[in-house]
Amino acid sequence: MVFVDDLRCPVSYDPLKADLTEQLNRHIKEQKLAAETIPYERLVDLMAATPNFNQLHVPDVGQKLSADLVLYVEITKFSLKDNEGSPLWQGKLGVSVKWVDATGRIWPRDRPDGYPLPSVDLPSVENAAVTYGSEVAKELANQMADKVAKLFYDHTGPPLGTR
């Protein structure tokens, strides 16, 4: 299960969490990192049905949705614009990630707040349309999902003895 959380850094554009979750689920399936993923809608349903949802621990959320593992993605930085009154869009997204099972964090063991990834910083684009923010958010989600997923791809190095 992918759980994108913005508890410590609330996002101003909520669909970002759905976009990032969907992109990560796609990568997880394509790379065969899991046989199944849990749709974002099930997490949203749990949030709506659980009055104290933000007080639940990540393993509890996973258990309530019958997930063996949770890829917890915490948003640490997010913006679509530097200045709301400006037509300049310059998206930024930072996250930290960790794998959690029913007993707690399993990766990375040495970083309680997760593994921080370099942020995605999009170049400035001038566009007066208010709806352009959705395009910026989708691009942030696509690029960050790629970065997160590549942490868990199989990597091969040169044969031993050639280094």
Q: What is the pLDDT of residue 156?
A: 61
pLDDT tier at 155, thresholds 50, 70, 90: low
Q: Which residue has the tokens 């759905």?
A: 18
Pair 74, 2: CB distance under 8 Å: no
Q: Which residue has the tokens 């508890």?
A: 7
Q: Which of 114, 120, 154 is nearest to 136 (CA)?
A: 120
Q: What angle do CA 27, 40, 13 make, to 5 degrees?
A: 95
Sign of the alpha-carbon torsion through 85, 89, 94, 100: positive
Share of the chain above pLDDT 90, in %: 80
Q: Is the pLDDT of residue 161 over 90?
A: no
What tokens appear for 67 in the block?
């997930």
Pair 79, 91: CB distance under 8 Å: yes
Q: Is the pLDDT of residue 27 over 90?
A: yes
What tokens appear for 51 in the block?
């009055």
What tokens appear for 21 in the block?
């979750």
pLDDT tier at 131, thresholds 50, 70, 90: very high
